[in-house]
Each structure stands twice: as structure tokens, then as C-alpha cells.
Amino acid sequence: MSIAGEVGWKTIKIKGTHQESVSEVIATEFPLTLMLDGYEFATIVCSPGELEDLVVGFLASEGVIRTVAEIKDIQVDLYTGFAHIALHKPVQPDQFDHSSRLIGSCCGKSRQFYFKNDARVAKTITSRLEVTVHQCMQLMKKLMDSSPEFKRTGGVHNASLATSTEVLLTRSDIGRHNALDKIFGAMLRDKISAKEKLVVFSGRISSEVLLKTSKMGIGIILSKSAVTDLAVKLADELGITVIGFVRDDRMNIYTRPDRVHGIHPHLQTDL
């Protein structure tokens, strides 16, 4: 069985004085419950695609695993909405300070324990990757052009793993955190190194997004959206270049501008 990432829905569309009944394509929300060594670990509300990537990336981001080799088996059952994960070294239900919980598509405070886990997994980045202003603009364009789901529904976030010139892989999800976890999972499963890589992202760069970027070992994140104050403070501490509002011919560099060519030297000293 496969579950579509989008469905048709009868809709009344109004524009000005014009009204019509149409079938509109909307994004699917799919609850996936993670059973870790027989214990209910979390339920993630997500888009029903690349679910094994999501499971692996989520477990790595939460500090449960460091490599995919620690996973003995993953079975995703789309009929029941359960993912059964067996580890080579089974965990106890209280080992990671987790109770069973709901990870909504907007995330946020539902991840009440992430600060403790992040202290164990987040790391300072020493990436030597550099980009130009033009490359940032081109990579954002490639991200948006590579997402047919967004064009059809307008209801998903996108994340890409890229070099300075090329998008290597893209994942979409109704949850912006899930899109990043899918990228992280794909990196671990396919043994893709974080060296000389960056993340291109459609969603807001919050503290949690920034910490996920750190856990992935990525030194540059580009987003077409805004940033938060805690995200840029953490980026400054962890050595990550944060670039937001990458749209058309503009962008804002918040931290580590030394990795971006094309910036006037006197402006770099202002950060």
C-alpha cells in the first residue's frame, strides 16, 4: 500500500466577485508512530514519503543513534501508521528522557526535551566550504524548482543537501523539521559526507533547525525565510553561517560572512 503525499479535495474558490467549485490538490498529513525496541517512542505528523529517511534522521537528531549501523531493522507499516525499529543495542524506555509524545507538523514546544539531547549531540562546525552570493541565489532557485509538491499544494517545506554549485538531494514534508530529518537520514543511509556540503531550506531558521544543522555537520544554511534570535546566537557559538531571506536578488547574512565571497570587507567586520 502507498499513501499519496497529496489528495484532491472539492473546494469553493473565491477571487474578487468570481466564485467556482473546483477540485484542489492539498498536502497529506500522516501520523507515524515510532516503536523503538517495542516501546512507543514518538508519533510524528509528516508527509508519507521517504519515511525510512525520516526515521533514521529523527533518531540521529534526537541522539538515539549516531550511525545507521546501530539500527538492526526498520519496518514501516503504512496500513497501521507504525514504524518498528530494532537496535543492535536495545534501549530502555527512560534512557533518553522521553515519554511517548506527539511531534506535530509545526513542531515547536512539542519537543520538550530537545535541549538536553542537543547538549549531547550538537557540535561546533569547522567547515571550509565557501560560496559566492550568486551561488546562494542559484541554489535557492534550484531548490524551489525541484519541488513539484510545493507547486501543486503550497503546503510543504523543502530542504536540499548541496555543494556550492549543485543540489545533491531534496526532501519535502509538511513539517520543516521533518524535511531536515529526511535529509539527515538520507545522508546516514547513503553514507554521504557533510564535508563541503550546505543545506538549502525553505522554512524559518529557528534554534531547533540550527541545532539540526549542527548535528548534520553542516557549516552553511540558506533559507528563503526568516531567522530567530536564538538561532543566530547558537550559529555564532557553533560556527555556522546563517543566510536568510534568499529571494530574487537579495539575502541577509547573519553569522560567519567570511564563508561568502562577494561581501565588502568593511561590512564583514560589522558582524
Are 213 and 207 within 8 A, CB to CB?
Answer: no
The 10 Å Cβ neighbour count of residue 179 is 30
Length of the chain: 271
Inter-residue contact 44 to 54 (CB < 8 Å)? yes
Which residue in the list 46, 106, 107, 136 is annotated as catalytic? 107
CB 153 within 8 A of CB 221: no
Whole-number Å distance between alpha carbons of 85 and 69: 13
Grid cell for residue 2 = 502507498
Distance between CA atoms of 108 and 106, rounded to whole angstroms?
6
User: Does 46 participate in catalysis according to the annotation?
Assistant: no
- Of 68, 39, 79, 52, nearest to 182 by C-alpha is 52
Terminal Cα-to-Cα distance of the chain (whole angstroms): 52
- Helix 207-216 with 114-121: angle, nearest 10 deg: 30
Alpha carbons 16 and 148: distance in angstroms, whole number:
28
Q: What positions carry a catalytic annotation?
A: 107
